[in-house]
Amino acid sequence: MTMRVAIATESFLPTVNGVTTSVCRVAEQLGALGHEVLVVSPRPAPDRFAGHRVATVPSVSVRSFPTGLPTREVRHVLARFAPDVLHVASPFVLGARALRDAAHLGIPAVAVYQTDVPAYLAQHVGPVGPRASSTAWRWVRRVHSLAGRTLAPSRGTLDELRAHGVPRTALWARGVDAALFHPDRRPSPRVTDLRARLAPDGEVLVGYVGRLAPEKELGRLAEVVRTPGARLVVVGDGPGRDATEHLLRGVASTALAPEPLFLGHRSGTDLADAYAALDVFVHTGTRETFGQTLQEAAASGLPVVAPARGGPLDLVDHGRTGLLFDPVGPGSLGLAVARLVEDAALRHRMGDAGRERVAGRTWAVLTDELVGHYDAVRKRTALAA
């Protein structure tokens, strides 16, 4: 049975991040299953995506992100489309309005928790951080209470939501494009040429892929720069790029180490080639609800080094597909990276195991699971009517 699905998202194209990527892949897969989709997003955004209409609402810029305003237009859009279910991606402002309007219109809703706003506030608003985080959790609980079901991407996040009183929670992970991100790309001329430019002296390439912003705790990459035999490659962009470049180039100069390389933002095949050119993948942030780049790296056949906290606990099988480091232990990241830099056979074994573990986590499989959650909240709403 096909459905009309409205997806209200706090972030959409041309902004690229984990929320946008998840929404795009879900919209594509829902369309492939024959469902009709309407995306509701902040302006600016394309008029259509993957054959689906995109309805935009006014926005303001917050730290370079277009943030949708919770205007009456949201309710009008939902009323006109009359969806069978509302999917709200990372609700906070626009999504909160969409959930409230859906409740008034009798539309069953699924909310996907994806951005840890309380943790972000605790990290970045100074001495009032703990109070701001507590206030944010009260808002999260209030917003998500409007949804028939809240989906968490990892067991750690699921536990945290439940500990803060968010009701009706369930686990729903993320898919990965295991055809695009594949170790078979490594011997291609594009990738071999890229490796030759990045590692002219045969260095082991240790890469980070993601947004360059303070919340990603990129200062930890200094330990990678200092690792003998390694060369750091950073893929991504963001408001913290200049500060990160300045810090890490200074570390390299002091340590007489290879200068780190910054490749900027990449997507599609260019991003897949960048993964394929690496030998080791490193993640630094400790407040990730999931960690999509860890899956992409694993699908590319790379061993993954990540903090033993949050989403990576679900994604890295310590000692088999990669290594988890102690985020409060100075030097722990560097020791994990050094172990892999020094042992090519270990890198290959872990890379193969990581690829095997994620190869079946396609967006098609994950979207089938999502449709099951849609059906569950629709049935619950029908019984309550």
Q: Token pair for residue 320?
A: 């088999």
Helix, strand and coil content of the chain, in percent to the nearest 5, comes to 45, 20, 35
Tens digits of residue pLDDT in 53-70:
999 999 999 877 899 999
The C-alpha atoms of residue 318 and residue 183 are separated, in whole angstroms, by 21
Share above pLDDT 90 across residues of the chain, in percent, rounded to a whole number: 91
pLDDT value of position 63: 73
Q: pLDDT confidence of 129, banded at 50, 70, 90?
A: low
| Every domain range in the chain assigned CATH 3.40.50.2000 | 4-175+362-384, 183-358
CB contact set of 72 (below 8 Å; sequence gap of 6+)? none
- When pLDDT is cut at 50, 70 and 90, the band that residue 123 belongs to is low
Residue linked to tokens 């943030």: 67
Closest CA to 181 of 277, 324, 320, 317: 277
- pLDDT recorded at residue 256: 96
Q: Which CATH homologous superfamily contains domain 4-175+362-384?
A: Glycogen Phosphorylase B; (3.40.50.2000)
* 303, 354 Cβ separation under 8 angstroms: yes
In this prediction the pTM is: 0.92
Residue 43 CA to residue 190 CA, distance in Å, equals 36
Helix (H) or strand (E) holding 41: strand 36-42
Phi, psi dihedral angles at 239 (to 5 degrees):
-65, -15
Least confident window among 62-71, 116-125, 144-153, 352-361: 116-125
User: Is the pLDDT score of 226 beyond 70?
Assistant: yes
Q: Which of 9-18, 33-42, 189-198, 334-343 has the lowest mean pLDDT?
A: 9-18
Exposed/middle/buried for residue 330 (C-beta within 10 Å: 0-12, 13-18, 19+): exposed
Which pLDDT band, with edges at 50, 70 and 90, does 133 fall under? Answer: confident
pLDDT of residue 182: 98
Residue 178 CB contacts under 8 Å (≥ 6 apart), including other chains: 299, 355, 358, 359, 360, 361, 362
Mean predicted lDDT score pLDDT of the chain? 95
Higher pLDDT, 297 or 64: 297
In the chain, % of residues over pLDDT 70: 98
**Residue 126: pLDDT band by 50, 70, 90 thresholds?**
low
Torsion 190-195-200-201 (CA) sign: negative
CATH superfamily of 183-358: Glycogen Phosphorylase B; (3.40.50.2000)
What pLDDT, on a 0 to 100 scale, did the predictor assign at position 125? Answer: 58
Query: Which alpha helices (H) appear in the chain, and where do they start and end?
Result: 18-32, 73-81, 94-105, 117-124, 129-144, 155-163, 189-198, 222-225, 241-255, 268-277, 292-299, 312-315, 332-341, 344-358, 363-384
Q: How confident is the model at residue 274 (pLDDT cuts 50, 70, 90)?
A: very high
What's the whole-number mean pLDDT along residues 99-109?
A: 98
User: What's the pLDDT band for 116 if we cut at 50, 70, 90?
Assistant: confident
Residue 151 backbone phi and psi in degrees, to 5: -105, 125
- Partners of 109 in beta bridges: 86
Is the pLDDT at 18 greater than 80? The verdict is yes
104-113, 125-134, 345-354: lowest mean pLDDT where? 125-134
Confidence band of 306 (pLDDT split at 50, 70, 90): very high
Q: Provide mean pLDDT across the span 75-93.
A: 97
Return the structure tokens found at 336.
């994990």
| Closest to 17 in 3D by CA, of 155, 216, 179 | 216
How much is the CA Rg of the chain, to the nearest whole Å? 21
Distance CA 180, CA 359 (A): 11
Instruction: Say what the pLDDT of residue 128 is.
Output: 65
pLDDT range class, residue 83, cuts 50, 70, 90:
very high
